[in-house]
Copies of this chain bind each other. A is one copy, B any other.
Amino acid sequence: MRWNGWGDPERAKPLPRAVHALLPLLLGRVRKPEASVELESVNLAPIALSAEDLGALREAVGEASVDTSQAARIYHAGGRSTPDLLRRRAQNQAAPDAVVRPGSHDEVRACLALAAAHGIAVIPFGGGSSVVGALDPERGAHRAVIALDLRRLTGLLRFDPLSGEAVLAAGTTGPDAEAALAAHGFELGHYPQSFRYATIGGFAAARSSGQNSAGYGRFDTMVTGIRVATPTGDLELGRSPGSAAGPDLIRVFLGSEGIFGVITEVTLRVHPVPTERVFEAWTFPSFAAGSEGLRQVAQAGSGPTVIRLSDEAETAVSLAQLGKIGKILAKGASAVTVYEGAGANASTEIAERRARTSALLRAAGGVSAGEGDAADWMQSRFDGPYLRDALLDAGVFCETLETASTWANLPKLRDAVEAALKDGFARIGSKSYIMCHISHIYPTGASLYFTVLASVREDPLAAWAPIKAGVNDAILEASGTISHHHAVGRDHAPWLREEVGETGIRILRAIKRELDPAAIMNPGAVIGADAGAAPSTTSRTEEPLQ
């Protein structure tokens, strides 16, 4: 992963010519930013760990697994939100004091005990792809902070082909997990945009949802068990696919983003590797018509593996990307469906699911475009973040955000978010272009995923903060959830309080006090700065709600 951008530098692409041509039309004049700083010349604060701290950490995980190099510290300085990437362009940057790489569950536990005893904050770190500030090197009330890099906890630990259950180490990346399962003929089928870098533990801790969620469910529905190390005790949860043995404590840790402890192993439902795949692209007269089609599909359970619908604005730009610039003024909303299946009857079953789904989409005004752009989408589906890098390099502000609600409330929620974005940029004299898609459907509702492009003349980091705050306010005001699959991190923490209420926050704080009494775990994430703890020096999330 690039230290100041997305993914593999080899895969980075310049801005497509069509998009380049489109930008002035959409956003007016764009100011090219100054060149980025080089890694070697970034100024970091001195390492705040004592020789004794470092000695103890080295004893816990081995000499080679405690890294205080400038490169390691900067690689672990945050996630991959647009603000993260903008901060990576600055001369002075915040970073953890060291990167510690435990090699086993027991070493994780030892690190947490040690950190609690020494008063060192711990940021659990998987693939580094958080886009909500979950990886900020926040030390809370403590004198130092380490990134606990979990990538050495890797691999398929146990596999039960009869039950279709796999136990994966938390630091296993998406591709490594799929490769290990594929050797047994199985697949997890969790493909979020971060797939190539993010880890199994990160998917669990952030309640991820992948592009095949219509077929295989969001990540939390795949989880049947977890192993967790906390500063004060371990947990091993998950004995059966259904249980009434008290509240489901697995769900306390899914979405906890490291504030209670570290997920070290995850037990997951898996399925046979699909042997057949059918693509079908669709065009609807409008996003509203398409959305009605998706609702029918979700409520009938008609069976696509992937289904996603772009609004008119996203459809136009996607067509431009594919070189079909002439169609930019065409009205309409495009959709992608994919059907996967395995086994002897895969063709028949896919045909049945496709027929049921297609009938519902046609009834909603959809027109099939054959295989069309669906296969193109599949091939480039992890590449969005590279495009963002190219846009940022061209001086275009680009960020994504997402929410979800019931079908009935979806139009109101979409309008509210778009208005907050458009008005926010307009207030600083910037033109913006806002796109939206639905990519996760449920019988009772769906997600809304927004991408915003804007020409920002002033400091984009300072400009974006109040606009993002306004969007978050608008989401909650319009009864949406503060995040459908990006999670809370530090960026959404003040709004989580409004979503779950004071009593909800009290529950989370009570669990944290019990498991992490020294408040070393990911300070400031999810629930904000812990009550009673000294105010943090680096927090940027504790501003009161406006």
A residues apposed to B, CB below 8 Å: 160, 162-165, 206-209, 213, 218, 220, 224, 230, 232-237, 239-249, 251-257, 269, 271, 295, 299-300, 343, 345, 349, 352, 356, 359, 403-409, 440, 442-447, 479-488, 492, 496, 499-504, 506-511, 513-515, 526-527
| Pairs of residues from A and B, 8 with the lowest C-beta to C-beta distance, nearest first | A241-B442, A510-B514, A233-B503, A240-B404, A251-B251, A207-B244, A163-B406, A243-B481
- Asked if residues B407 and A163 are in contact (CB atoms below 8 Å), the reply is yes
8 Å CB contact of A242 from B165, B218, B504: B218
User: In the bound complex, how far is the Cα of B233 from the Cα of A485, in angstroms?
Assistant: 28
Which residue from chain B places its CB closest to the CB of A241 in the assembled complex? B442
- Asked if residues B269 and A443 are in contact (CB atoms below 8 Å), the reply is yes
User: In the bound complex, how far is the Cα of B500 from the Cα of A244, in angstroms?
Assistant: 12
User: In the bound complex, how far is the Cα of B249 from the Cα of A508, in angstroms?
Assistant: 9
- Asked if residues A483 and B245 are in contact (CB atoms below 8 Å), the reply is yes
Chain B residues with CB under 8 Å of A440's CB are 242
- Can you report 26 residue pairs joining A to B where beta carbons are below 8 Å apart? A160-B406, A162-B406, A162-B407, A162-B408, A163-B409, A163-B444, A164-B299, A207-B243, A207-B248, A220-B248, A232-B506, A235-B504, A236-B501, A237-B500, A239-B404, A241-B445, A243-B404, A245-B482, A246-B508, A247-B252, A247-B255, A252-B507, A345-B359, A349-B356, A503-B515, A507-B515
Chain B residues with CB under 8 Å of A206's CB are 244
Chain B residues with CB under 8 Å of A504's CB are 235, 237, 249
Among A241, A256, A299, A502, max chain B CB count under 10 A is at: A241
- Asked if residues B508 and A510 are in contact (CB atoms below 8 Å), the reply is no
- Asked if residues A246 and B488 are in contact (CB atoms below 8 Å), the reply is yes
- Asked if residues A240 and B503 are in contact (CB atoms below 8 Å), the reply is no
Given contacts A246-B526, A513-B510, A444 and B164 within 8 Å (CB-CB): yes
User: In the bound complex, how far is the Cα of B243 from the Cα of A482, in angstroms?
Assistant: 8
Which residue from chain B places its CB closest to the CB of A303 in the assembled complex? B301
Looking at the assembled complex, report how far the CB atom of A407 sits from the nearest CB atom of chain B, in whole angstroms. 4
Chain B residues with CB under 8 Å of A243's CB are 207, 404, 481, 483-484
User: In the bound complex, how far is the Cα of B500 from the Cα of A249, in angstroms?
Assistant: 8
User: In the bound complex, how far is the Cα of B502 from the Cα of A488, in angstroms?
Assistant: 28
Looking at the assembled complex, report how far the CB atom of A516 sits from the nearest CB atom of chain B, in whole angstroms. 11
